[in-house]
Amino acid sequence: MQHKIEFFPSYAFSVLDDFIKDIRGIIAYDNTLWYELVAQAEKDVVEDLIKRYQNFVIEFNCFITAHPRVDSLLLSIGDGLTLCRRNDASLKAQNQTHEHDGLKFP
């Protein structure tokens, strides 16, 4: 199995553009349940810093699940792990981009 896995120790944004172009690739996002805070009401979260990150994680999860060219699967292990891959619809619209609240996803 080791010959099938590539590890890139790098800042995410420097390599994500190339990963997104690979139709067969899978991207895994860790901590998508974020200590179960994504399920709590904002009024129940006390610290401002945690509220800020709670909203970011919720928005990101919504963006990924609503994107028409992404298949995603949330695994409720640990703090949540989301697996994403481009779906067949992405083959038909490779030159378009989708934008949601400033996040762009080719």
Is there a contact between 64 and 103 (Cβ–Cβ < 8 Å)? no
Asked whether the predicted pLDDT for residue 11 surpasses 80, the reply is no
pLDDT digits 0-9 by tens, 46-96: 677 677 777 888 888 888 888 888 889 989 888 889 998 888 665 555 545
**CA-CA distance, 80 to 34, in Å (whole number)?**
7
pLDDT-derived band of residue 104, with 50, 70 and 90 as boundaries? Answer: low
* 3-class DSSP state of 96: coil
pLDDT digits 0-9 by tens, 31-49: 888 777 776 776 676 677 6
* 3-class DSSP state of 103: strand
Is there a contact between 74 and 32 (Cβ–Cβ < 8 Å)? yes
Q: Which domains does the chain have, with CATH numbers?
A: 15-100 (3.40.50.150)
